[in-house]
Structure 1
Amino acid sequence: MSVSTAVEVEVTPPAVMFSHFGINCDDADKLEDFYTRVLGFCVSDHGMTRQETIRIVFMTRRPREHHQFVLASGRSSENPPTVGETGFKAPDLAALRHAKALVEAEAEVSDVVAIDHGISWTLYFRDPESNRCAISVETGHYVPQPAAWPLDLSASDANIRQTTEARCKATSGYMSRADWRAEKEAQFRAENRLTDEGPETGNADPDFERPNDPDRILLNPTENSAPPPQIAQSHCGFKVADMDMMVEFYDSVLGYAVTGRGIMPAISNEPAREYAYLSRDPDEHHQVILVSGRDMDAPTSVNQLSLRILSLDELRRMERELEAHPAIGKLRNTCHGNSFSIYFPDPEGNVVELAVESVWYVPAPHGAPLDLSWSDQELIDWAENHCRNTDGFMMRADWKSRAREELIANGHLEAEGLVSDVA
């Protein structure tokens, strides 16, 4: 798939997979407490960055990901958040009701409302800094999005299912979710949007002794008064000013297909807005949501949208093509030890990361300049030596194995089987 952007620059989108999402916040301590204590995330690392001015917190419930969600301090409370939503999946209506009880018990959580979207039953709420969150249960149906009806979670499962099925079947464009998935898989394959998981970069079987202190604690859970909700992070969304331009950019440059677009009616305190749903994975109706209504006078509160990319060669190619793109600002190349990364602003200043994952782990935040003019072997040799000489170094496979054990032991492992491996 090679398409032209609105600014007449031809880009071949890379093979990417959704990795994680980060937001800028006013009080990182407050939001860390909320997302760990209420939603069950564990802090995998934290520290100061940008000349010790920004506190950054990395959190996960998925051993595949060192961080699924990132908080970065520094956003003024005077600026409204530009985050559209951070999205999660739950396995069933019972889990959705449990999540509803948890968030309703929080004094600083607002705008709690349940909506039937036809494709999902969704609980919306705003965190203590008014960033919108969504927890959804898939229904097995598909209707064109956006669609929204009231959802009464006090009703029985059978009643809810019957009501949703009747609504969906009476809606133009209805099909089963399985049929929609098959249709999208064929489309995405034909358009070269599908991405398979690739190997991490580096020597996964080194000849040195692998550090793995059995007494070291990798993840830091917060004591919960109730079991954390059964959820899995699934998507992110942010507000945009120029919907057409941003849809074109995410399609033509990053390969995200539009799976739905239209006006979402007002929901509780959220006014009616235009929504565009984007995905590269037929298992996910949307991985990224663009929402109209951004005030460009306010800085973005999106800290980063991070996408995994499969190889250093692809990263170099994207470096060349992004540098030539007139709608994209200055690139920043960084080796985090855990990854080789390029950061760049999208046309409205939201930071996007393209990251090649490595076989190593070092505590975050961590960064060193990355020179992609070096050969693969030169970069791997340099990065391995750099990581081995960094306090806290482990092989990534050992970190993931240990993280999984800890998440199971402390009851914070996310609900598995809800999000595909490439999501």
Structure 2
Amino acid sequence: METYGKILLIAMPAFFVLVLFEKFWGVWKGNDTVPVNDMIASLSSGITNVTKDVLGLSIVVISYEWMAGKFGLFQIDASWLTYVIAFIALDFAGYWVHRISHEYNLFWNNHIIHHSSEEFNLACALRQSISSIVKIFGIFLLPAALLGVPAQVIAIVAPLHLFAQFWYHTRHIGKMGFLEKIIVTPSHHRVHHAINPEYLDKNYGQIFIIWDKLFGTYQEEQENVPAVYGVTRPVRTWNPIKINFMHLWLLIKDAWRAQDWKDKLKIWFMPLGWRPKDVSEKYPVYKIEDVYHFEKYNPFLSKGMLIWSFAQLIVLLLLLSYLFGNLASIGVPDIFYYGAFVFLTVYSYTELMDRNPNAWVWEVLKVIYAFYFIFTSGDWFGINEVFPGALTFFIVYLFLSCLLSVWFCLKNERMQLAN
């Protein structure tokens, strides 16, 4: 937990700088692929994901350490070869986890957030799940366990393997020659994120493209088929917390509404998109039929609201950095209370970006929540001791945040009435 938090203190600003670089590069080249509202939503999703992971809010059903101890045929020391084997084993496991997430209704809920952006850029790489509370896919690391790869090697290689999947989420890099035959490139991954019929459910590889070629899921990007991004049932929100659970909520409603008990059970394990016939007829769900003619989600946001939303993101990144840098001193259970504030903040300002007329309610709840801890402890989880004067700035931010949220909601309401 604490080690991962320290790693993220370096990784978060690096990713943020790269996202901004892609934004400015696109503007300079006349091909901006990073709309500000989409970027804020993607980075906000990344914030919720890393918060969940650092706080350890998940249950591992089958741990790698247990498998290695139970089934390991050998015991090998950590060497460069061990790390190579671990990297390949993680990539093999990643391919199958990824593929299953796309092919079965239940597991798609853990992955929909990553595909929810209707853009394709470095920021959308950070759209990662908070809904994968129960992790059962450790079984795919069985080959590494059999070979005796130590658990500490997997622990080191796993975040490196994850971070190595960031760079290829971009439209600014074309095909890469002979590398196209070996590793996953931006071209390969553009295909994977596309909803064109020609591209759906292809290129599941994470680092090596060989798995797709080996198991029949490879598709090359075609010049005459420009990729269209998103999901065929568009999410229509910037709120990453809502997106994380909307597919699960649909499955729950469909299972409840289905007349046949068999349908109530099998809906969870049927191919992605399957719904009971009686339910789909009575409760239709909008689906994009023509990927070249649909309206992207883009509610009007004034320049002032965009600037304020971006400012909220910056403040939250600073507060998150304080949390990750001081996990031990903040301690349990306070780190979980702090995490709840992070989630409340993301929820409130993304609701405002969605032009939800009740977004101010979430903002008020966030501020009341924060002031409870300030009044009861005289500080914000020790921040004033580490950075004298920081508490004053934080209190000013809370008041300003509340006032601006109410003001933007009232302004949006007046605009709607005028129209």
TM-score (norm 2): 0.25
TM-score (norm 1): 0.24
**Which protein has greater RCO, CA pairs closer than 8 Å, 6+ apart?**
1
Higher helix share: 2
Higher strand share: 1
